[in-house]
Structure 1
């Protein structure tokens, strides 16, 4: 895949992320966006990440700015530290995609880059970058992981998970040590599982059957109350109950929002519709898929009412806190970037406080269920062409969505989202940062939602390959 840049960052094959390309994007970011008096740099555990980070640091120093080297660290922990310092940040990561690919995520001092920042960075590319008369400084810091962990210990207290045995699927997540440390700092017992020296691309929104079976096996073998993990750069959580059943990210979002006392939700159109039947929420804003759109909606809410108890979350589980919330033990300050720890800790702590299992806590929610998966190695142009065809023709939709039921309505907020007369939903969308066509479904049962995804992925493969 050719390198591609958007608000989710730069993504491309490692072989195409040359020092020249990395330098160009880094310098364009530095020239186009506010930086504060330094730029934090972190990276994930892909084999290529340290070298790419070295090119980023060199580019920062060549621009005459101070590079603050944070090292291997979760993306939200990097953002938390850089924003607290009033500085920008660059995270070297390809998120959940395979190790032969990598990328850069950019943060301005106020948080994630916006669509306007993206346009400015693109406009600045391709210059003959000059070297500053004096190179910028180079600092190395090592307190970021503890600061990130302590944020949740302060909010939830050292006994929040007492008595719980929680598995930590470590794989190659850059948060693997922080996850176990946090469980234990909250009073739980952490069981570390399957640490890997080889990068494993875990997509928390599309957990494959083999991984699901592995999770269930670990839960049974170790008598776990729950099992936690993240994607590669740890801005997406994964939480499974005592049976190893993965709880979808949008369900984690609803549970976390409720636990924190949020009143206003900003979440993509693909998120579970159960929130409409949860009276604790006053207002729900549906957005396009992607954290920049969620953040933009949250910022609009806060511009109208700075005291609004607003949060955002995505179907992948990334949670964004937009107000000064209060946990069971103390305050928790806003962090408007995708976070993995908050939507792991909050549901676990609430279930324990209620004396319920995690599965029982989820079962109490309104009965709407989602599923999602994707066809990989499909060119974005092919996915777009299929969706354009279906969007423009009722006959084409009727032929493609055969056996689902009569079409009730269309939602074109992001891709093609079709609601059928029984309330079921099928949503098709090209991935914004990988050669994938994604399929989401919503129905009155988990089995039906999964059936819809499986059937329509087969139809997509038949039409597009992959």
Structure 2
């Protein structure tokens, strides 16, 4: 046995909690590290009871099966039973665990590069909170040497239940006559998306399926993927293109022309379709949410699903009857009281990619327009984003400290073109509102050594120009 202090292990291994679970380099996610995290989750949160089932799932990263095996061993060491659900979207595992009233562990690095991976934890009630993360981090566990084991047998019920959630929710002819492309790449959601869309009447076109892991970031769509969307839409005469990140909890949706929609705009339209009275969303999302006037209340939070979930819980406590949450990456969290026609949608307060994609297709059919037509009634505010990779967090923090305290630092990056900074918002990172109405938001990633930049302006071209010029200035400073 080796006694492991989780807090010390996090420092030594670099595998630590970010905005969504514990993540790190695969080379540092040893059997011992993964087993220690699993034991800390089960024991630190008092979830380890004799015979307690623990749902376990994974994405398609090449490193995920080995991590699954290490976590499965640790589940057994804690006196619990492994309920292995195989490769499936994170929201499918979360739905299964929530409905079964059991904890869950998802092995996924989401959108981050393939040389990294992660572990995401769920209580029986849903995602762990930031307080739970602190309890896990403070745990001390005994970890034996991990022997080689086989991957557990797959229980298919979780994936089947997730598929049925949407087939039963929408009319069987919802997508009749529609040609929908699925940019499959290495998404854990690719097969269930095909089944759902086909059962709802669509003709599905498979695009770019691969056995090589592809790190799709729905907040920073590559120039190559932007061009692919345009080509595919014309080549296959598509009504829409749907994709997701690696674990299927963040959507990527393109209109009939192949233009990818921003995640916060997808969330905004989805919340409208589901008749939400309250929207909870991070500070990074587009201000069109408030300007639309569609919601009685909009609550802004820090970036990360735990903060959005906490905001949703607060909204319910304050009397909101129908609550929706979504993030800039498009991941949609279904709270209480949402409806699809006459059907009440069961709450699923974790990021999901399938619901927002189907909601926009349904909203387009309902209003008699193409996907692009859904944008015509929105306030003309556009958001762009990108990132600098391999940018140490310490460098990001030092930059934000200068910008928040030295007016000259802002002028050195942006000159006089934006006017004076009229508002500093440090809810998460640094969000600067300028006199000309434009917004620039800088934030270190919580999952990797990256600096993200979001910009908002009255045109997409201008928002993209602001992002590009800001990142170039920062990189050159």
TM-score range, shorter chain: over 0.9
Contact 1:155 1:329 in 2 (8 A): no
Residue 370 of structure 2 is aligned with which of 350, 353, 357? 357
Matches for 1:6-21 after TM superposition, within 5 Å: 6=18, 8-21=20-33
Matches for 1:268-279 after TM superposition, within 5 Å: 268-279=282-293
CA distance in 2, matches of 1:25, 1:182: 34
- TM-superposed CA distance for 1:209, in Å, is 0.6
Residue 350 of structure 2 is aligned with which of 316, 337, 361? 337
Corresponding position of 1:92 = 107
- TM-superposed CA distance for 1:458, in Å, is 0.6
- TM-superposed CA distance for 1:74, in Å, is 0.4
Corresponding position of 2:323 = 310
- TM-superposed CA distance for 1:251, in Å, is 0.3
Q: TM-score, normalised by structure 1?
A: 0.95
Residue 252 of structure 2 is aligned with which of 238, 263, 272? 238
- TM-superposed CA distance for 1:391, in Å, is 1.0
Contact 1:11 1:104 in 2 (8 A): yes
Q: Does 1:23 align with 2:35?
A: yes
CA distance in 2, matches of 1:329, 1:351: 18
Contact 1:44 1:92 in 2 (8 A): yes
CA distance in 1, matches of 2:56, 2:349: 19
SS at match of 1:128: strand
Matches for 1:256-275 after TM superposition, within 5 Å: 256-275=270-289
SS at match of 2:310: helix
- TM-superposed CA distance for 1:410, in Å, is 1.3
- TM-superposed CA distance for 1:278, in Å, is 2.0
**Count, aligned residues:** 457
Residue 380 of structure 2 is aligned with which of 367, 370, 374? 367
Residue 225 of structure 1 is aligned with which of 239, 264, 283? 239
- 1:248-267 deviation per Cα after TM superposition (whole angstroms, max 9, x unaligned): 00001110000010000110
- 1:44-101 deviation per Cα after TM superposition (whole angstroms, max 9, x unaligned): 0011101110110110011110110000010000000011111111111111011111
- TM-superposed CA distance for 1:129, in Å, is 4.0
Show structure 2 runs of 5+ residues with no match.
Answer: 1-12, 146-151
Query: Alpha carbon RMSD of aligned pairs, Å?
Result: 1.7
Contact 1:156 1:329 in 2 (8 A): no
SS at match of 2:109: coil
CA distance in 2, matches of 1:404, 1:113: 41
SS at match of 1:246: coil
Residue 321 of structure 1 is aligned with which of 334, 338, 350? 334
Contact 1:155 1:326 in 2 (8 A): no
Q: TM-score, normalised by structure 2?
A: 0.93
Q: Does 1:254 align with 2:268?
A: yes
Residue 173 of structure 2 is aligned with which of 150, 154, 159? 159
Corresponding position of 1:397 = 410
CA distance in 1, matches of 2:294, 2:85: 39
CA distance in 2, matches of 1:217, 1:404: 36
Corresponding position of 1:119 = 134
Matches for 1:121-136 after TM superposition, within 5 Å: 121-125=136-140, 127-129=141-143
CA distance in 1, matches of 2:59, 2:135: 26
Residue 50 of structure 1 is aligned with which of 61, 65, 79? 65
Runs of 4+ in 1 over 6 A off after TM superposition: none
Show structure 1 runs of 5+ residues with no match.
Answer: 132-137
